């Protein structure tokens, strides 16, 4: 009798497991999105946030130095100065949005993990998965594009700006770089 009970319990468990949807393909799709997200996160973190902050602050201070001269740069000096300070807008935008992009990455990661767990636990119907997946796919594509656009060449630009800063400071301290000197 007891043996029949265990046998019945075994078949019931087997039936329960057999009826539960496995969603291997769908889980693989979610894993694919997670890999894209991880790659995007690595690209974002390839830009050193401390260096980004430092150079952004230095460029802002350098612009104030030029403005404190109460004079206008010559045309040639202005072109040279623009090579250095012209990237400030791009730097500042990345600096401001860096934390927001990290938060967005974490939110999407959590949503993907929750979707995967819901699938594994059989809480989502196959026909509903497509809608959830498309929403998550769109979110991954958008953050991936945003990060790619914001970080494109940024590490190189930061290094270059640190290297060119001394030349820039020499330029703006040279009286010959200003119109009033040349008008004498």
- Report pLDDT for 32: 94
CA 116 – CA 93 distance, rounded (Å): 34
The dihedral region occupied by 20, where left means phi > 0, alpha psi between -120 and 50, and beta the remainder, is beta
- Report pLDDT for 127: 85
CA 168 – CA 62 distance, rounded (Å): 9
Q: How many CB atoms lie within 10 A of CB 87?
A: 19
Q: Which residues contact 24 (CB under 8 A, 6 or more apart)?
A: none
Q: 73 has which bridge partners?
A: 178
- Asked if residue 45 lies in contact with residue 148, where contact means CB atoms within 8 angstroms, the answer is no
- Report pLDDT for 2: 47
Tell me what the mean pLDDT of segment 60-66 comes to.
Answer: 90
Residue (of 108, 110, 125) closest to 23 by Cα position: 125
pLDDT band, very low/low/confident/very high, at 7 (cuts 50, 70, 90): very low
Q: Which of 2-11, 59-68, 97-106 has the lowest mean pLDDT?
A: 2-11
- Asked if residue 104 lies in contact with residue 181, where contact means CB atoms within 8 angstroms, the answer is no
- Report pLDDT for 15: 44
- Per-residue pLDDT of 110-152, as tens digits, reads 999 999 999 988 898 888 999 999 999 999 999 999 999 999 9
Q: Does residue 36 have a pLDDT over 50?
A: yes
- Report pLDDT for 21: 56
Tokens 């590490």 belong to residue: 155
Indicate the SS3 state at residue 123: coil
Q: Does residue 11 have a pLDDT over 90?
A: no
Start-to-end C-alpha separation, the chain? 114
Q: Does residue 22 have a pLDDT over 90?
A: no
- Asked if residue 128 lies in contact with residue 24, where contact means CB atoms within 8 angstroms, the answer is no
Q: Does residue 181 have a pLDDT over 90?
A: no
Structure-block tokens of residue 101: 């992009």
The separation between CA 152 and the C-alpha centre of its own chain, rounded to angstroms, equals 11
pLDDT top residue among 49 and 18: 49
Indicate the SS3 state at residue 14: helix
């Amino acid at each position: 009798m007891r043996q029949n009970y265990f046998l019945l319990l075994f078949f019931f468990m087997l039936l329960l497991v057999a009826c539960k949807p496995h969603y291997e393909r769908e889980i693989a799709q979610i894993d694919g999105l997670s890999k894209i997200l991880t790659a995007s996160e690595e690209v974002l973190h390839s830009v050193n946030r401390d260096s980004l902050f430092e150079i952004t602050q230095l460029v802002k201070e350098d612009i104030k130095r030029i403005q404190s001269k109460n004079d206008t740069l010559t045309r040639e000096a202005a072109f040279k100065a623009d090579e250095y300070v012209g990237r400030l807008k791009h730097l500042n935008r990345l600096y401001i949005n860096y934390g927001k992009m990290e938060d967005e990455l974490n939110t999407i990661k959590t949503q993907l993990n929750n979707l995967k767990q819901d699938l594994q636990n059989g809480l989502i119907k196959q026909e509903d998965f497509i809608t959830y997946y498309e929403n998550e796919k769109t979110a991954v594509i958008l953050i991936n594009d945003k990060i790619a656009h914001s970080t494109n060449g940024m590490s190189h630009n930061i290094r270059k700006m640190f290297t060119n800063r001394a030349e820039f400071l020499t330029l703006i301290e040279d009286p010959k770089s200003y119109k009033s000197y040349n008008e004498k």
